[in-house]
A = this chain, B = another copy of it.
Amino acid sequence: MNSSRDSELLPTVAEVEAAARRIAGRAVETPLLEWPALNERIGGRVLVKPEQLQRTGSFKFRGAFNKLSRLVELGGSAGAVVAYSSGNHAQGVAAAAQLLGFKAAIVMPSDAPAIKIANTRSYGAEVVLYDRQRDNREAIADDLAAKTGATIVRPYEDADIISGQGTVGLELARQARARGAELDAALIPCGGGGLIAGSTLALQATWPRLPVFACEPEGFDDTGRSLAAHRRLGIVAGAKTVCDGLMAPTPGRLTFALNDRQLAGGLALSDEEVLAAMAYGFQVLKLVLEPSGAVTLAALLSGKFQGRGLTIGIVCSGGNVDPDVYARALKAAM
């Protein structure tokens, strides 16, 4: 594991800006979208950063491409990488590896959405399936890395990954300012916490006291509970959620160090609220939202976050959802 020493340190906004330069022209600069109907429904102004329009269908490509670019800068050439992921990080690493000439092996749970497994393979990566109940994915990845000399690309415990994901917040701040909007609050999905940690660095560089809230599935609201306790707590035992991308068992060490300092609190969303938000995405926004990508919209639509009179930036983090899960959400639309 030749991970660089500085990837263990907390990133700064300067590193988010450096990541933005690295990914320019390779990642999509997703637009900032606004709908009159959503603004009317909330009674405020909602600016949506739609990361389902990103390469691979989620924000994860940003961190992965930044990390692999850094490995090339540090090592002089592309090598081999291993990652473990329920899906979107897998696709992000696989696509970044393909573009930069790395060999990639991805350890994925056998019950991950079929679309995510198929897409990961389509980027030329080797997929190693494991049993979520029986196997330890980190041990499998460590084993693969030890055998092949590959570098492990962790989904969030890495300063280069956090900086890369932070480019979402950097673009959101610039695009909001460009249309004359000043945010009063931001809502960002939170699994391991990389996206929200990096994005909040960038958002608070523009608006120093901006309240940013972590949106999590009920039972998997480890970051929200940890923020309240000011120490890292795990998920609720036996919890289940439709949000397959937000099931990290505990906040990351690096990410929580940033999040504990930066965030205003957490919001926990039920499956019903998430599916209703996906249906609203279909009916009104015309964007395909995966469950994990719909938690922020769910927080607004459910009223768990009161947006009336406010200008709110929200990140919709991805759109990789199997047709059968999507059909379940559409039933809420009928």
A residues sitting closer than 8 Å to B (CB atoms) are: 28, 31, 33-37, 50, 52-53, 55, 57, 115, 281-288, 319, 323-324, 326-327, 330-331, 333-334
Contact A55 B31 (CB under 8 A): no
Q: How far is the CA of A334 from the CA of B115 in the complex (A)?
A: 9
Smallest Cβ-Cβ distance to A32: which chain B residue: B31
Task: Give A179 Cβ to nearest chain B Cβ, in Å.
Answer: 10
- A288-B288, A323-B327, A327-B330 provided; 14 other pairs, C-beta below 8 A? A28-B34, A28-B36, A33-B53, A35-B53, A35-B55, A52-B286, A57-B286, A115-B283, A282-B326, A286-B287, A287-B287, A287-B288, A323-B334, A324-B334
Q: Which residues of B contact A323 (CB under 8 A)?
A: 282, 327, 330-331, 333-334
C-alpha gap A285/B52 in the complex (Å): 8
| Dominant secondary structure of chain A at its interface with chain B | helix
Which of B36, B319, B333 meets A55, CB within 8 Å?
B36
* Residue from B28, B53, B286, B331 within 8 A of A288 (CB atoms): B286
Q: Is the CB of B33 within 8 A of A31?
A: yes
Residues of B within 8 A of A31 (CB): 31, 33
Min CB–CB distance A288 → chain B (angstroms): 4
Complex alpha-carbon distance, A57 and B327, angstroms: 20
Distance to closest chain B CB from A252 (angstroms): 27
What's the nearest-Cβ distance from chain B to residue A96, in Å? 12
Specify which chain B residues have a CB less than 8 angstroms from the CB of A55 in the assembled complex.
Answer: 35-37
- Give chain B residues whose Cβ lies under 8 Å from the Cβ of A28: 34-36
Roughly how many angstroms separate A287 CA and B50 CA in the complex, as a whole number? 11
A36 to B333, CA, bound (A): 31
